[in-house]
Amino acid sequence: MHLHKVYHRLSLLSFSARSSPSIFSLSPPVILKLRPVNSVRSLNSTSMSASKFRYLVPINAVAAEDSGGASNGSVSSSSTPPPTESEDDLTLGVGYRLPPPEIRDIVDAPPLPALSFSPHRDKILFLKRRSLPPLAELARPEEKLAGIRIDGKCNTRSRMSFYTGIGIHQLMPDGTLGPEKELHGYPDGAKINFVSWSQDGRHLAFSIRVEEEENSSSKLRVWVADVETGNARPLFQSPDICLNAVFDNFVWVNNSTLLVSTIPLSRGDPPKKPLVPSGPKIQTNEQKNIIQFRTFQDLLKDEYDEDLFDYYATTQLVLASLDGTVKEIGLPAVYTSLDPSPDGKYLLISSIHRPYSFIVPCGRFPKKVDLWTSDGQFVREICDLPLAEDIPIAFSSVRKGMRSINWRADKPSALYWVETQDGGDAKVEVSPRDIVYTEPAEPLEGEQPAILHQLDLRYGGISWCDDSLALVYESWYKTRRTRTWVISPGSKDSSPRILFDRSSEDVYSDPGSPMFRRTPAGTYVIAKIKKGHDDESYYIILNGSGATPEGNIPFLDLFDINTGSKERIWQSDKEKYYESVIALMSDQEKGDLCLDQLKILTSKESKTENTQYYILSWPDKQACQITNFPHPYPQLETLQKEMIRYQRKDGVQMTATLYLPPGYDPSKDGPLPCLVWSYPGEFKSKDAAGQVRGSPNEFPGIGATSALLWLARRFAILSGPTIPIIGEGDEEANDRYVEQLVASAEAAVEEVIQRGVAHPNKIAVGGHSYGAFMTANLLAHAPHLFCCGVARSGAYNRTLTPFGFQNEDRTLWEATGTYVEMSPFMSANKIKKPILLIHGEEDNNPGTLTMQSDRFFNALKGHGALCRLVILPYESHGYAARESIMHVLWETDRWLQKYCVSNTSDVKADLDASKDDLSKGTTDSESKAVASSGGGGAEMSDHECEGFHSITRSSL
């Protein structure tokens, strides 16, 4: 697979650090989001430092539901001035509201551009971004089909963000940037997506859409631009040839030809829904198959939906040259992936086909992978996988048959793939569990695929170098074990050996990941380095996050793959700054790379200085700054940030980041109202749970819905206090979830009170998704700690997600007590503190249906709780529209001002009441929590993990 293809898909799939080592190469296009955002916690927080990846944006800039709320800026015409407030307005809610100016000004700050480096690292694109979109864009009709949402008018995924312009800068020999050259020739107001460099870096391809009259087409058209002149023009002379971007969009086959997914010219109007159904909707399991799956949304419902899905997803592939030559290849089909071989001679084409399913999304539909020549001639079928409705819910389960079919990066046209030996079921014990195969694109008659490597854990990816070296990754979720193997792909006499064998959640032992260099074919392989021109020994460079008890200190190690010896050649400044390595910049050189010619791209930031980028050159390691972006929110430039450590009563070490407003002095100003914002996490050991993640010197990124916005309202913010739920050995962590949750919250609250920065009567708790679940549980089981709560887009009744949720893969029937005791819905009668519930009306995240908040609110209201429910029209799991985001901030600020800042309740009375309830044994689970509050804990992961495992399995 060409590595830039990975970036096209980052918006659709989530990758762990080990399962996609190519991500660490940051190969072209290197895309950097220059403004840190308050993103949700990484799925694999124990892998390589995620901090540098927060600057990455997918090249296509497709806005997944969670990304919209993280951008900044304003759409001045999209909101009306706030009406005059009255108590009735505040209680009932009238229209969209705006938060106070001190919050609004931060959110409305103009967004900085994203950066994209050319393949030869000699030019940089400044991709201009707009501010928050108006609600009108989210209100556009969308088709919810097969687990995806489609904008029928554009024939692409709905709710795409876009770039508004492209500036080109030359990277000068001295490391500075030349003057900006603006890309020109396209229509005013064009929305730009899918920016892609040609392999030689001379041309750009991108899509453009222009908002036209209401009833006219706004389909995407493919444009190309000459990088030297900045002149852009349509790729196709005919205006009737439009892009179909429901799945893949286009890819460079060579320096002058693109393979484009287009809307078939013969396609007519969309199918019309029959007024009278042809019959009842029937599903059957008369074969008594065991089919379990999580709560997928937006699935196909009937034959009409199947026809509609085919209508929008069917593609005609077209080869288009820069000279105007156009050639249709293949028959129209639902093509999902287009991958040219490194030598440009072949195309690896993936498609899905009927029979479709009404119970799983399109990633599990029957999948066909074919090999074509680059001019569209069919060569052979690689595989045709059946419908996969029966993938087990156990983590590390996968689809049966061939998966992860890709091109070897170190060969002109060699394929590799993996096949499971356990039927895809993680609960089946077998050795080997996965086998990795390789073969040429056109094997000789009778030639069988070669076994490259056999694995006892689950395959997690390969980093290629050459015939003498490749690294193969495997891991097992249940035990958190991860291993890296060294193999010699071209030698049958060389035995594979384990290079690293460790716990994936032990961040202190992470050795780092290899850096990559570009090949003449435009692929990326592990970079081999010599210490000197006369040196016969080769080394690789390991780029690590450098987790330590004092925080992350990123590093580069020169690593001898044969002896295991290391030499540290670079390390971040640990006193004031946080620096990280983004990419190898000297990878375009021919021949061997020598250490004294090494050149890398780094980022540098501090608590008060926003991220800037530098070129660091050996041998003197001189750093040249290439960006000079202004502080995104100067009003908070002098905010105070401290990474704090404290201990839970069972001895588990805890960490959090404490933020205090600019100019705050605890001795003069006294304790502040405090907002605790967090997200539980699951661990297999107390030691791993207590490890420090992140850096005290990182710049505090403030997203559009970030809790840090309330620094401008003079709050203390305790951000991301670890909430470890630990299940050691064979213990299931969630069986003591409430106990460990409360113990973690108690430790955090005691710490901020002891420091004198938080008023004990004025501590609020909040979170998003699984953090909202946490918030509701804390108000139910630890009412003595918090005065109120804010819960956004959460799930509260686990019986509505009976086949697993978050990191729980037991079913409701296997762990009934756990499901019930963990559900705050079941404890709605205990919630006496004010709780604000917010949810997107169109939430499509598995597990967090909008119904969860609606039913929880009714349960609370039925017991007389002080509660408020806000449903955001058109919003999904993350919030995107400016009107919605501003209103969320207004609602949150009003709640905090009314029930936190103005709170006069007696904390001691609450504490005594809570103890009385517990001593009376209000519930068995609570009594157990008190009796064993010195016990272990466990961790939950991110809301994306709510559907990650199922999505990943279905995509393999």
SS (H, E, C) 51-78: HHHHHCCCCCCCCCCCCHHHCCCCCHHH
DSSP assignment letter at 121: S
Which one of 42, 45, 744, 769 is the catalytic residue?
Answer: 769
d(CA 515, CA 542): 6
Q: Which long-range contacts (CB under 8 A, 24 or more apart) does 558-566 make?
A: 558/529, 558/531, 558/595, 559/511, 561/469, 561/486, 561/499, 564/499, 566/542
The phi, psi pair for 859, rounded to 5°, reads -65, -40
Q: Is 268 exposed, middle or buried, given 0-12, 13-18 or 19+ CB atoms closer than 10 A?
A: exposed
Residues forming a β-bridge with 127: 114, 166
- Is the backbone peptide bond immediately before 630 cis, with ω within 30 degrees of 0? no
Q: How far is CA 281 from CA 300, 362, 385, in A?
A: 12, 19, 26
d(CA 498, CA 502): 11
DSSP sequence for 525-544: EEPEEESSTT----EEEEEE
Cβ within 8 Å of residue 246, ≥6 positions away: 148, 150, 155, 156, 157, 312, 313, 315
Cβ within 8 Å of residue 756, ≥6 positions away: 666, 670, 671
Which one of 877, 887, 943, 949 is the catalytic residue?
Answer: 877
Token pair of 564 as six digits: 């295991």
Sheet of 469-476, strand order: 458-466, 469-476, 481-487, 497-503
Residue 910 annotated in active site: no
Among residues 215, 212, 210, the alpha carbon closest in space to that of 223 is found at 210
Q: How far is CA 563 from CA 10, 409, 625, in A?
A: 35, 25, 36
Among residues 598, 538, 526, 546, the alpha carbon closest in space to that of 25 is found at 526
Q: Is 189 exposed, middle or buried, given 0-12, 13-18 or 19+ CB atoms closer than 10 A?
A: exposed
- Count of CB atoms situated within 10 Å of the CB of 169: 18
Cβ within 8 Å of residue 186, ≥6 positions away: 192, 208, 223, 232
Radius of gyration of the chain (CA): 27
Between CA 903 and CA 911, with CA 908 as vertex, the angle to 5 degrees is 105
Token pair of 848 as six digits: 């967090």
Token pair of 340 as six digits: 């040219």
Which one of 298, 843, 893, 910 is the catalytic residue?
Answer: 843
Judge contact between 662 and 640, C-beta under 8 A: yes
Q: Say whether 303 sits in a helix, a strand or coil.
A: helix
Judge contact between 611 and 604, C-beta under 8 A: yes
Q: Say whether 86 sits in a helix, a strand or coil.
A: coil
- Count of CB atoms situated within 10 Å of the CB of 596: 12
Q: Is 315 exposed, middle or buried, given 0-12, 13-18 or 19+ CB atoms closer than 10 A?
A: buried
Residue 353 annotated in active site: no
Q: Which long-range contacts (CB under 8 A, 24 or more apart) does 421-428 make?
A: 424/391, 424/392, 424/397, 424/398, 424/399, 424/400, 424/953, 425/392, 425/394, 425/397, 426/392, 426/394, 426/395, 426/396, 426/397, 426/458, 426/477, 426/478, 427/392, 427/394, 427/397
d(CA 369, CA 375): 17
DSSP sequence for 249-275: -EEEEETTEEEEEE--TT--SPPPPPS
Residue 769 annotated in active site: yes
Judge contact between 885 and 878, C-beta under 8 A: no
Cβ within 8 Å of residue 810, ≥6 positions away: 732, 804, 818
Which amino acids are annotated catalytic? 769, 843, 877
